[in-house]
Structure 1
Amino acid sequence: MMAFFWQRALLLSLAAAMSVYADMKLECRPDFVTLVWTERRSQADLSLFRLGNCFPTSISATEAVFSVDVNDCNFRRIVTGDHLMYTNDLTYSSSPDFTYPVVCAYERPNNWYPLLYEPVFSTYGLGDLVFHIGLMNADFSGPAESSTFPLGSFIPIMASVSQMTHQPLLLLLEECVAATTAELQPESTLYPIIANKGCLVDSLVSRSKFERRQKSSEIHLSLQAFRFGVGERVFIHCKLVAWDPNGMDHTKKACHYVKEHGWELLDNSAYSNLCDCCESDCKSRRSRSTESGKHGVVQNAVLGPLTITDVNS
């Protein structure tokens, strides 16, 4: 089926962001991806490069080469309108700060549809940042195979921001509500999920929680399927914030409630006092604002439709 994708491969290059000491070449083919990393520093150990969870297929004195199938190496597939996008990260395992996004985008044929399920994944562009939000499978390794969830099961949700040449940013979910409409109306009935500037209020009455981060530009939410909108089309409306990692405060945080423990900060439990306001009113102690654009960017997103079923009804 990949052969149909080779209508127009779009290569998103990051050459401008790369070090003068290295070069990356990426070739997106119908059934595989070839990535060649050329390293000019003799002290670099090329065997430590990884594409997703894949080791280099070959190594020379100056090059690490990956020739892999897009269905391997934890590539993430995103269906966005007219395109099928496969995204991954090139990392250097001895340096947690070394990450380069790898993106192959293929023009989506008009007659192409997934065999079983169209992944619920939305993409939003804002300046040089690209935001994604979508339903994932149980281990967050790829898109969900269904948008139907039994009451009480977990709905895995991933939001991310592709930073391109932007400074490193921390992605947060500032607010999320569930509704039975794709657009929020004044008369819409809402179910609060995240409120009060990053507090997962649903975790007070459920097993919902933020999962440990794999990277600062992504956030994973395991949301326990709720009774609101059972049997109807449900949409989750969220406000995503890409923020300066060093600028966390009472209004820039990700907190969930842990039974027998209390509110806990996702990114560093030692600073969980930032969550103390989750049951009152979280107000910033700083004068700066995300709306200024100097320290962060805000993006509204809608996920859905999804369906929650009650097997007992």
Structure 2
Amino acid sequence: MMAFFWQGALLLSLAAAISVYADMKLDCMPDYVSLVWTESRSQADTSLFRLGNCFPTSSSAREAVFNVDLSDCNFNRMVSGDQMVYTNDLTYVSSPDSLIPPFTHQVMCAYERPKDWHPLIYDPVFNTYGQADLVFHIGLMNDDFSGPAVSTSFPLGSFIPIMASVEQNTHQPLLLLLEECVAATTPELQPESSLYPIITNKGCLVDSRTSRSKFEVRQKSSEIHLSLQAFRFALGEEVFIHCKLVAWDPSGLDNTKKACHYVKEHGWELLDNPAYSNLCDCCESSCKSRRMRSVASGKHGVVQTAVLGPMTITDGKS
């Protein structure tokens, strides 16, 4: 794979913004990335830099060095036409009393799409994703959510049972939320992808406005069950559902961290405490974001992207 020239233009634009304090050198190799951040501010602790969820490979008083595989550190990959683009964030996670505030810079490597590259075939039963020391799952279930689905074909109007979860391990109790879900006909979202919105606006199940889709009563906070009514989008084609999963503090619900569905003749209802369904009022307008708090330290939530599929929705006449 050959990195495109415009990668250099991106680096120049980033360097212009940070040249007062630092210099970043990025080498995009066929299977890995080499990044060196040189910091001129003596107050900066270079060990506090992160590339995605990766710690520096090495660090000194002035440099943070990352030599990492493109398959690690939560790099995001997007394929568009003849380009394959990998993106990530280089972040500085300073302490609250630091003289240097936290900051983030995007890292991007673009390659020619290999001629023999084809989309991954995703396991239609359970998909697993790692984020730091949390493990997320998403899968198609049988009708009563007691086990994996036996088929990935759903007649129009039937229910598609979906379960998402996060393994808590040694963490404090976590609340699993679906922040956003869209259906597409591709396993990777592309600029030209045709989309069907399912969950938008920070946890609003917008599909429930015009269907019988709903969140099911929780069995445990670290799991969420969605009964999604099979929709007319892309009938007979392979469909993939792309979601953002959020692990959150169960006591920290607000209008940007919630699970809301529409109940006919009642209105928007909050899954986890209907008495506070006013948090869902913004589902009809815009639920504004605010900075996330941490699950582990009380300051940041954990977001994981996931893809479910392929599945097929049929017209039910055959």
| TM-score (normalised: structure 2) | 0.59
Partner in structure 2 of residue 27 of structure 1: none
Partner in structure 1 of residue 135 of structure 2: 130
Output the CA distance in 1 between the equivalents of 2:130 and 2:197: 26
Of 187, 191, 194, the residue aligned with 2:196 is 191
Give 4+ residue runs of structure 1 displaced > 6 Å after superposition: 290-293
2:303 is paired with a residue whose SS is strand
Pairing 1:154–2:159 present? yes
Output the CA distance in 1 between the equivalents of 2:188 and 2:214: 26
User: Which AA in structure 2 matches 1:299?
Assistant: Q
Of 245, 262, 267, the residue aligned with 2:267 is 262
Partner in structure 1 of residue 251 of structure 2: 246
Partner in structure 2 of residue 175 of structure 1: 180
Partner in structure 2 of residue 226 of structure 1: 231
1:121 Cα deviation after fit: 1.1
Give yes or no for contact 1:173–1:238 (8 Å, CA) kept in 2. yes
Partner in structure 2 of residue 91 of structure 1: none
Partner in structure 2 of residue 300 of structure 1: 305
- Cα offsets for 1:123-147 (capped at 9, x unmatched): 0011111000000000000000000
1:254 Cα deviation after fit: 0.1
1:287 Cα deviation after fit: 4.6
* Aligned-pair Cα RMSD in Å: 1.8
1:294 Cα deviation after fit: 2.7
| TM-score (normalised: structure 1) | 0.60
Unaligned runs of 5+ in 1: 1-117
Of 200, 208, 214, the residue aligned with 1:203 is 208
1:122 Cα deviation after fit: 0.2
Give yes or no for contact 1:229–1:308 (8 Å, CA) kept in 2. yes
Output the CA distance in 1 between the equivalents of 2:305 and 2:244: 4
- Count the aligned residue pairs: 195
User: Which AA in structure 2 matches 1:184?
Assistant: L
Give yes or no for contact 1:134–1:158 (8 Å, CA) kept in 2. yes
1:213 is paired with a residue whose SS is coil
Of 276, 281, 288, the residue aligned with 1:271 is 276
User: Which AA in structure 2 matches 1:224?
Assistant: Q
Of 216, 223, 228, the residue aligned with 2:221 is 216
